[in-house]
Homo-oligomer: A and B are copies of this chain.
Amino acid sequence: MVQQETHTPETRSQTLTRRFLQSRELSLTLCEPLNIEDYGLQAAAEVSPPKWHLAHTSWFYETFILKSYLDNYNCINPRFEILFNSYYQGVGPQFSRPQRGLLSRPTLEEVLEYRKLVETQIVKLIQQQGENQGLLNLVELGINHEQQHQELLLTDIKYCFSFNPLLPAYIDPRKLGADEQASPSKMVSFEGADCITGTESEAFHFDNETPAHKVYINDFKLANRLVTNGEYLEFIEDGGYQDAALWLSDGWDHINREGWKRPLYWHCRDGEWFEYTLHGLLPLQHSTPATHISYYEADAFARWAGKRLPTEFEWERAAGIYPEGRGQCLEHSIEKGCFIPQSAQTKFTLAQMIGDCWEWTSSAYAPYPGYRPLPGAVGEYNGKFMCNQYVLRGGSCVTTSEHIRTTYRNFFYPKDRWQFSGIRLAD
């Protein structure tokens, strides 16, 4: 991202206009390696086609901004109100989620045209409204919303490609790091204390990070890096997937019902291990973090290792104390042409806290005390999902770095593993 050289500071509306256009551009950049036939792929209900991501992120701006701020606004296409509504019951009906892959029409061309029309009107509206903070807050929400879908776009395409026996590469690797054995992880100690969790800063954050509130955190230890592929392989070779004693009851049922014996994208061919990546099938690297791990597997690994997963409060506290150890995020991935979590840099007390892999915590996703969702349909963004899911922290190699922060709460079901999710141990 190029630094603007300017002497008068940007206004918020200028900043957000710039960031808006950059984020809109990034979505298209991420699609560049795709063939047009890839845009319609949907291999599971919870995965969306690239074209749908492109359309939905435009629908979001149209629905929550253009419709509210423009008098007598005429929808660009009334059919899109239904087709590209994800789950906002307060907005109206939604097209069947598992069937998004059946929407060969509107075509990609029409969706790109839709994007353009929305963009033009958003930019014009910001200009007209000046420093209207209510509007700008929604624009900033829209940018963050699109950033989430940029990550999903990459994880979804990886998932869909993985069903194709050709195991297509999203992009050819420019350069993969050498695979050295990672040095043993160390446990960093923290003393029990009353702490503040969550945020009330003026900077952008989601409603689920509020209110800031006190929690008492006991003494704990946190690993200085993520669990590596090499370590996870030991767990497999030690019979981890065959030993009921290591697993949660629901996890044991799940892995047996689904026949899981290894992480989502691992392959064993003639005794050699490989990992399917956005660069196609590659030999398994022992030093890079184990990723595409479900909560069930993360929890079982931790039990096998004689450890446990951290709570989200422990994680957030540690990340606040040692903010320096950032790993690979989306910009870095684009720059290096390498969309794989990277080995930990040992110079940091806590490496890889931001970037590389989302880190499962043992905290069920729940509202903070006093939590209030945003008013209106946009309040469905986070609150209604606070059940049956677990919190993940820290972002991944396909999370935009400006999108992630230490108070950020991501959430998935314990069976989910199509995200770049990994393991950091605690004790």
Contacts and interface: CB of A to CB of B under 8 A. Distances in A.
A416 B249 CA distance: 17
A390 to B, nearest CB: 9
Contacts of A107: 35, 37
B41 A104 contact: yes
Given A102-B160, A105-B164, A387 B95 contact: no
A168 interface: yes
Contacts of A245: 89-90, 380
A40 B388 CA distance: 33
Number of chain A interface residues as a range = 35 or more
Given A82-B165, A165-B83, A247-B384, A41 B218 contact: no
A215 interface: yes
Contacts of A213: 218
A295 B214 CA distance: 26
A370 to B, nearest CB: 7
B244 A216 contact: no
Contact of A79 (B83, B165, B250): B165
A384 B248 contact: yes
Interface centre among A41, A362, A387 (most CB of B within 10 A): A387
A364 interface: yes
A188 interface: no
Interface string A85-108: 001011000010001011111111
A366 interface: yes
Interface string A21-42: 0000000000000011111110
Interface in A388-427: 388, 414
A252 interface: yes
A146 to B, nearest CB: 21
Nearest to A299: B387
Contact of A102 (B89, B104, B164): B164
Contact of A104 (B35, B308, B384, B414): B35
Nearest to A93: B165
B43 A89 contact: no
Contact of A216 (B37, B215, B250): B215
Contacts of A105: 35, 37-38, 164, 166, 168
Interface in A351-400: 362-364, 366-367, 369-370, 380, 384-388
A102 B44 CA distance: 10
A194 interface: yes
A327 interface: no
A96 to B, nearest CB: 8
B218 A370 contact: yes
Contacts of A289: none
A240 interface: no
A363 B218 CA distance: 18
Contacts of A142: none
B104 A40 contact: yes
Contacts of A295: 387
A194 to B, nearest CB: 6
Contacts of A370: 218
Nearest to A195: B216
Interface string A331-360: 000000000000000000000000000000
Contacts of A73: none
A214 B362 CA distance: 18
A263 interface: no
Given A362-B366, A384-B248, A388-B414, A102 B37 contact: no
Interface of A: 35-41, 43, 51, 79, 82-83, 87, 89-90, 95, 99, 101-108, 160-161, 163-166, 168, 192, 194, 213-216, 218, 220, 244-245, 247-252, 295-296, 299, 308, 362-364, 366-367, 369-370, 380, 384-388, 414
9 contacts: A35-B107, A37-B40, A40-B104, A89-B245, A99-B163, A103-B164, A218-B369, A387-B414, A388-B414
